[in-house]
Structure 1
Amino acid sequence: MLNSRRQFLSQSSALVFSLALPLSAESAINTRHARLLAAWQLPNGAYQVGVLNAAGQAGALSHAVRMAVDLPTRPHGLMHLQGDEYLVIARRPGDWLLRLNIRSGETSRVWQEEDRHLNGHSALHGDRLYTTETDVLGGTGVLAVRNRHTFELQDVWPTHGKDPHEMLVLPKGGLGIDEPFLLVANGGIPTHADMGRTQLNQLPMDSSVVAMSPRTGRVLNQWTLSDSRLSLRHMAAHAGGVVGIAMQAHHSTAALRDAAPVLALLDENGLRTVNESAGVKGYAGDIVATPQGFVISCTKNNSAGQFDVQGNLLHSQAANAACALAAEGEQVWLGSLAVEFSRPLELDNHWLLI
């Protein structure tokens, strides 16, 4: 680990705008204040992670940056570790993990092993930290098993697909599985660290959702879709047991991508796409679960949509470059670019309530 350092930037002006998303057409917009851990890109191209204070007024949340830490490259996944400590992971093909204390501002960074690159997401179970990664030489997806306190590598397991992205830890009984398990979304896109995020080829994609034992890495179940051009990316678990999966379409034409659904649902009966989620340019950036179902941000379509657990579209809302989502009960915070500012911060896909 590198020595801890403090890098604070205080900005009093509200540079980021977010819309509080109503959870039905009739619901009032909640203007409650929020404190969020978020990642973003500055107008000069530099990347940061830090704390945003959100003040609500008339259905919108204006955000002020209260603490920021410089990052070497673009960040992606954010996860709570313990107390005031959070984990930040580089976007794929990533080569660093950052521990951040949001109270003291202290950080420590671990560089990735050269034979694998990080894919931007992680999960905790017991004393283990799991990170989704790609084997550089073979291009196969792997799950790195690490010590949750030191991040030291303990084991590497195959995810039985390419480009594993987000993962969840689900309890015994979830999806009909009789033990606690890791649920991993294999995005299916072949990439190589030396070529950045360039796709090596469109096909064959190897996208799937895999349930794995957190103790041994044994595959407990695996689900795929008939459309091989749909990349399974981000996931959220509903209290009722259904898992919502945000997808990104990689069809050969813009028309085909726009016609593709961007939401899939997984339950004990299997994995299926949601037809009503089509028509948003084939791209869902993030997803959260709500009491009614799921909300997805459709970045390229400048919108967000709410669906019930059966996949029925309940409500949609315009939001410029919709991206990060966070939820607490029936309240959802949706990150977007502010048209009021000429050079706003560009939020990444994810943020967390803190």
Structure 2
Amino acid sequence: MATGLCPRPSWADAGSPTYLSAARFPNAGDHLVGLSGAGDILFKLPLPGRGHAAAAHPTRPEAVGFARRPGRFAFVLDCITGQVIANFNAPEGRHFYGHGTFSADGSTLYTTENDYEAGLGVIGVWDAQHRYVRLGEFASGGVGPHDMKLMPDGETLVIANGGIETHPDMGRTKLNLTTMRPNLNYVAPDGTQRDQIELPSELSRNSIRHLAVGPDGLVAFAMQWQGEAEQHPALLGLHTRGEDIRLLQAPMTQHRELRGYVGSVAIAQDASQLAATSPIGGVVQIFDLANDTFSATYALPDVCGVSAGGAKFMFSSGTGKVGTFDDAKPVFLGDHPCAWDNHLVRI
């Protein structure tokens, strides 16, 4: 009876935010921010340091803010009250890569981590029902796992193993560029491998970093080139389990504008288009997924966050702007006094 009389709070009680992003505010520090679909700030909750991405609980109005790699903190925040529900650190010998995802029922949180003494990636497993105590870990299936998503089947995790070995004693120095082997690894909730796809050898220095998953299971992956600057390989790929990788690339004039770096990628909710951002190049590129062709480009300084948003994409930039696109130009919905970090996470 008590449960019936006191329903559990939901995301509606937090103002029904559509997106989460980390941001740095002048003279106010780092925060985890909830944004509406119209680009308004609904809440901002302090973080102890620079954040990267976030994970939104599928039912409860709580979010996990992760430290930017090679950070070790994760804060679980009540998005109604702003209170810290739990805070936890990566275990000794580990650091986070800034990304994580919940199981479909919200009982478990998975985090991408670096076992930096072994030079191998691991996936941390945390109990989201009991104050996020650590339950264990399993191998990521590669080196440098960065992003990770839950597939539409509600069970399989897809992991972007970027292939780059780092060690916190050496900051963000890349230790193994000549032996990189990035891959996409599909695993069961217990870490059992279900599928793994590697890039061709000539693309072994193309670090797979960020992911988007369509409603039909199409995986889009964004890459960052670690080879010679004068080379301009494709930086976007598509994969459907059981099929070969498909690479996407704009005509060379537009492709060079990415400057070897894609920061975020998103698939439209109707699976018709893909958007990719380059904060280094200051551009967003749109591709038509019906025939894997380049569609449009938009110039936006320091743009990185991008997410599916209704019938259009939503973007965020390090200059504080958030917005969407029409057929010819960006449409700015907000210009906030902050620097948005790399990712815009849809709730």
Give the TM interval when normalised to the shorter protein. 0.7 to 0.9
Structure 1 range deviating more: 297-306 or 67-76: 67-76
Contact 1:162 1:187 (8 Å CA) reproduced: yes
Runs of 4+ in 1 over 6 A off after TM superposition: 339-343
**What is the 5 A alignment of 1:58-69?**
63=40, 65=41, 67-69=43-45
Aligned twin of 2:164: 189
- How far apart in 2 are the matches of 1:128 and 1:293? 31
- How far apart in 2 are the matches of 1:115 and 1:299? 31
Aligned twin of 2:89: 111
Any idea what SS the aligned residue of 1:160 has? coil
- How far apart in 1 are the matches of 2:55 and 2:17? 17
Aligned twin of 1:204: 179
Any idea what SS the aligned residue of 1:223 has? strand
User: Percentage identity across aligned positions?
Assistant: 29
TM-aligned CA deviation for residue 221 of structure 1: 1.1
Contact 2:121 2:140 (8 Å CA) reproduced: yes
Aligned twin of 1:333: 314
Mark the CA change 1:69 to 1:200 in structure 2 (over 3 Å): closer, same or farther.
same
Any idea what SS the aligned residue of 1:349 has? coil
Give 5+ residue unaligned stretches, structure 2.
Answer: 1-15, 322-333
Which whole-Å deviations, capped at 9, do the CAs of 1:288-327 have from their partners, x for residues lacking one?
1112121111111111111122421112111111111122
- How far apart in 2 are the matches of 1:74 and 1:247? 23
- How far apart in 1 are the matches of 2:293 and 2:274? 10
Mark the CA change 1:342 to 1:132 in structure 2 (over 3 Å): closer, same or farther.
closer
**What is the 5 A alignment of 1:1-354?**
36-43=19-26, 46-52=29-35, 63=40, 65=41, 67-81=43-57, 82-107=59-84, 108-125=86-103, 126=105, 127-149=107-129, 150-172=131-153, 180-214=155-189, 216-226=190-200, 227-253=203-229, 255-256=230-231, 259-267=232-240, 268-276=242-250, 278-279=255-256, 280-290=258-268, 291=270, 292-309=272-289, 310-338=291-319, 344-353=337-346
Matched positions, count: 305
Contact 1:39 1:49 (8 Å CA) reproduced: yes
Aligned twin of 1:28: none
Any idea what SS the aligned residue of 1:194 has? helix
Mark the CA change 1:274 to 1:317 in structure 2 (over 3 Å): closer, same or farther.
same
Contact 1:43 1:343 (8 Å CA) reproduced: no
- How far apart in 1 are the matches of 2:197 and 2:94? 25
- How far apart in 1 are the matches of 2:249 and 2:63? 36
Contact 2:51 2:98 (8 Å CA) reproduced: yes
Any idea what SS the aligned residue of 1:301 has? coil
TM-aligned CA deviation for residue 154 of structure 1: 1.4
Letter in 2 for 1:40: A
After TM superposition, the score normalised by the length of structure 1 is 0.79
- How far apart in 1 are the matches of 2:221 and 2:98? 16
TM-aligned CA deviation for residue 328 of structure 1: 2.7
Contact 2:47 2:65 (8 Å CA) reproduced: no
- How far apart in 2 are the matches of 1:307 and 1:134? 33
- How far apart in 2 are the matches of 1:318 and 1:342? 16
- How far apart in 2 are the matches of 1:208 and 1:243? 13
Give 5+ residue unaligned stretches, structure 1.
Answer: 1-32, 56-60, 173-178
Which whole-Å deviations, capped at 9, do the CAs of 1:55-96 have from their partners, x for residues lacking one?
5xxxxx6x5x55333322221121111321111111111211
Mark the CA change 1:182 to 1:48 in structure 2 (over 3 Å): closer, same or farther.
same
- How far apart in 1 are the matches of 2:260 and 2:311? 26
Any idea what SS the aligned residue of 1:203 has? helix
Which whole-Å deviations, capped at 9, do the CAs of 1:243-280 have from their partners, x for residues lacking one?
11111111132x22xx1222111013122322327321
- How far apart in 2 are the matches of 1:93 and 1:339? 24
Mark the CA change 1:324 to 1:295 in structure 2 (over 3 Å): closer, same or farther.
same
Mark the CA change 1:181 to 1:98 in structure 2 (over 3 Å): closer, same or farther.
same
- How far apart in 2 are the matches of 1:281 and 1:211? 29
Which whole-Å deviations, capped at 9, do the CAs of 1:207-239 have from their partners, x for residues lacking one?
10001111x311111101111110111111122
With a CA cutoff of 8 Å and minimum separation of 6, indicate the structure with the bigger relative contact order. Answer: 1
Any idea what SS the aligned residue of 1:284 has? coil
